[in-house]
């Protein structure tokens, strides 16, 4: 039974900057594709000839204008607390489950960026898309896991309820 499910999108920091850069590059790729392939003009108005072939431009457009913005649009941090444990997923990639038996302590924290960078090194792990508030799970093997959350008190309470 799921006690809590929280989904977050990139909110600040480097990941949001990368996402914004890919969206801007995607707009330029769409513009270049329309100008050169559809309207039969040079990809950019400052060029008097086509700098690349139509086929290469279509490949660039597919990667920069469609694939990368789509992947970064799908990026989410999903935290699920249920009777099996705490499931952490950075969609569409990593996923891990921490069993309740492995969690020794849960602490609600609100850290600065510098504190977050300095506190979680080595074996310690961070699950965040830019947020600095969340919960720290102290595990039985000595590892600390920072889980960013918009509602850290609710996550902490859900972990204690699910145990």
* pTM, to two decimals: 0.71
15 pLDDT above the threshold of 70: no
Q: For 43-54, how does the pLDDT look when each residue is reduced to its tens digit (9 = 90+)?
A: 766 656 667 778
What confidence tens digit (pLDDT) does each residue in 61-118 have?
Answer: 888 888 877 877 788 899 999 999 999 998 878 889 999 999 999 999 987 766 766 6
Beta bridge partners of 144: 138
Phi, psi of 137 (to 5 degrees): -95, 115
Which of 69, 10, 7, 59 is closest to 32 using CA atoms?
59
């Amino acid at each position: 039974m799921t006690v809590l499910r929280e989904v977050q999108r990139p909110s600040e920091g480097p990941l949001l900057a990368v996402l914004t850069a890919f969206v801007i590059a995607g707009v330029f790729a769409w513009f270049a594709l329309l100008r050169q392939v559809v309207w039969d003009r040079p990809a950019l108005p400052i060029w008097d000839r086509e700098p690349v072939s139509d086929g290469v431009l279509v490949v660039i457009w597919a990667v920069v204008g469609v694939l990368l913005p789509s992947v970064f649009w799908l990026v989410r941090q999903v935290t699920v607390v249920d009777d099996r444990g705490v499931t952490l997923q950075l969609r569409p990639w990593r996923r891990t489950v921490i069993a309740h038996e492995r969690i020794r302590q849960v602490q609600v924290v609100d850290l600065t960026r510098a504190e977050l960078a300095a506190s979680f090194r080595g074996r310690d792990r961070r699950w965040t898309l830019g947020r600095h508030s969340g919960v720290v799970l102290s595990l039985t093997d000595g590892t600390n896991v920072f889980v960013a959350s918009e509602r850290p008190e609710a996550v902490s309470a859900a972990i204690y309820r699910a145990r």
